[in-house]
Each structure stands twice: as structure tokens, then as C-alpha cells.
Amino acid sequence: MAAGSYMRQVHICEVGPRDGLQNAHHRIPTEAKKAWIQAIAAAGVAEIEVGSFVPPGLIPAMADTAEIVASALRIGNLKVVALAPNVKGFERATAAGAHKITFPVSASRAHSLANVRMEPEKMVEEVRKCVRLRGTKGPEIEAGVSTAFGCTMQGAVPEDDVVRLAVMLAEAGVDCVALADTVGYANPAQIRRVFRRVRGEIGSKLEAAHLHDTRGLGLANALAAFEEGVRHFDSSMGGLGGCPFAPGASGNVITEDLVFMFESMGVPTGIGIEKLMEARAHMVAALPGEPVYGHMALAGLPKGFRAAA
């Protein structure tokens, strides 16, 4: 855990360098990606998902992840996270030195097959293998339950399936479970219901909410999750990455707006909004022509605004 995080009430993991860039239209040069990640960390973001260890060649934007992890590790006071879709990815992420490795485990069978070419149950076994491989000294392991609130292929995803999968993952020995609204289908009532049910089953192993803003409900869903006790959120600077099915719609919930919401509510994030804007400028300069989103960046802070103490 990074220094300074003791004074955070809410902990934000910036996933733009992974989830954002993976879906972006433009490529960012490796050196610019490193500088952007440094700028994000300099704003006080204590955790960054910097890339994914997918099969080389599958997602060209992620081909430099090992180098990016190495660079991020030199920053200090930063939890460096990488995504892995299988044992092989886990081994590469571990070798690279990532502090935390996150696995996408889809609650939707169709999405699971399309995303990792495995049934959800098979994917749980893959995660279990990694837990065993890690032993006692390896990286933290997170499982993100993808499509936990709906799926563009399957449509509705039964809440029972989400709860069952979260329980299986907790029993497989992961350190923490996140629930992900991968395609922006969630609504606040559903967020409250599903987080409450999963917490009832796996307690404090339920950690993060990974939300998308595809239909504009990202911050409302984050508020609902916060009020259900969630204190860890994934978000992406500039809502980077958009949604391949929704031209003009942002992707992940937007870091700048999420930080603004919490800070304006008096909930400390440990993140400085002005420095966050500098990191945003880095990203915009490094990705010319890429659509970026964010209300706060356009409208500016309210007159007399004070961040949370």
C-alpha cells in the first residue's frame, strides 16, 4: 500500500493505461505512456493498472507492458497492477514484478468464451492455479467479475450467477474480488442489490467497483456503490477508450469527474485535482485526435471550491 493512503477515504485505481488504451483508436508511444503514468502517480493516484499480459500480438497496444511495469515500479509509492487472462499471463506479470495481478472472470458465459476462450468455471480454475503458483510471497491477486450487471451478448446476467462466481473466486483464494460493469448496463438500484448480496457472502474480500459510463450512469452507480460501503474504485482518465459499440460514448467512469464528486462530498481521495489535470494534459498531448471526455475538465472547479480535508 502506497504511503499517504492512510488519509484516503476512497481509493482510486487508474485503469486508463490498460482498459483505456486497450480500446483507444490511437497508439501511444512507450516513452509517452511511461511519462503519463508518472504524471498520474504524481497527482497522488496510489494504484495504476498499467497494462495487460495478453498473448503478444493479440492487442498491440499492450505489447510493451513488461517495460511499462518496470518503469512504473521505479516510481515508488505506487501499487503497480497488471491484468492477466490466464496462467501464462500471470507468470509474465509476476516475472515483470507487478504488485497486483487482476483476472477478468466473466459472469456471462458468452462473454467469457469471447474474452478468454474459457467457460467461467474453467477460468476460476485458471485463477486457482495462479493462487497456488504464487505461494506465500507472490503478488496480490484480484478477480474482477466482468459483465456482472449485464452483457451485450447475453443481455441480462442473473444476479445468482454473479454471487455464485464471486463465492467460487473467494474460495479459490484470491485476495479480493471486484464487480465490473464492463459494458455500462448497471443501474444504481442493481449496484446496491448486487454489492450487498456479494458482500453478504464473501465479506471484506469484495473490494472494488469497476464501472463504465456508457449510458451516463457511471457516477450515479459509483455513488450507490459508495453508499453500500465500497471504498475502492477503478476509473479511467478522460473516460479513455470509449465504447466500441457506442460511438461518442465514454468508456470507464471518468477519473477526473469521480475524484471531483468524492472531494466535493468531503470524501478524501488523496488525489490533487490540479495535478490530475496536468496528467490529463499529458495524455491529450500524447494521443492527438483521440476522443477524451470529462465534464469537470471542461467546466472547471466551482468558484471557491475546497477539496476534502
Interface residues with a copy of itself (CB under 8 A)?
150-156, 183-185, 187-190, 213-217, 219-220, 222-224, 243, 245-250, 254, 257, 260-261, 264-267, 294-296, 298-300, 302-304
Please, what sign has the CA dihedral across residues 275, 82, 203, 165? positive
**Which of 93/277 has CB closer to a copy of itself?**
277
Q: How far is the CB of 253 from a copy of itself (least distance, A)?
A: 10
Asked if 151 is an active-site residue, the reply is no
**Which of 133/265 has CB closer to a copy of itself?**
265
Distance, CA of 24 to CA of 12 (rounded, Å): 21
Q: How far is the CB of 151 from a copy of itself (least distance, A)?
A: 8
> Do 59 and 90 contact (CB within 8 A), yes or no?
no
Q: How far is the CB of 107 from a copy of itself (least distance, A)?
A: 15
Q: How far is the CB of 34 from a copy of itself (least distance, A)?
A: 29
**Which of 62/211 has CB closer to a copy of itself?**
211
Question: What letter does residue 85 receive in the DSSP assignment?
Answer: S
**Which of 12/217 has CB closer to a copy of itself?**
217
Distance, CA of 64 to CA of 222 (rounded, Å): 31
CA distances from 120 to 87, 117, 243 (A): 15, 9, 23
> Do 270 and 8 contact (CB within 8 A), yes or no?
yes
Q: How far is the CB of 210 from a copy of itself (least distance, A)?
A: 17
Q: How far is the CB of 216 from a copy of itself (least distance, A)?
A: 3
The active-site residue out of 130, 151, 176, 243 is 243
Question: Cell match 467497483: residue?
Answer: 209
Using CB atoms within 10 A of its CB, is residue 51 exposed (0-12), middle (13-18) or buried (19+)?
A: buried
Per DSSP, the three-state class of 31 is helix
Per DSSP, the three-state class of 286 is helix
> Do 93 and 69 contact (CB within 8 A), yes or no?
yes
**Which of 33/111 has CB closer to a copy of itself?**
111
Per DSSP, the three-state class of 254 is strand
Task: Specify the DSSP element, H or E, that contains 122.
Answer: helix 120-134
**Which of 7/189 has CB closer to a copy of itself?**
189
Contacts of 300 (CB under 8 A, 6+ apart): none
Query: Which residues belong to the active site?
Result: 243
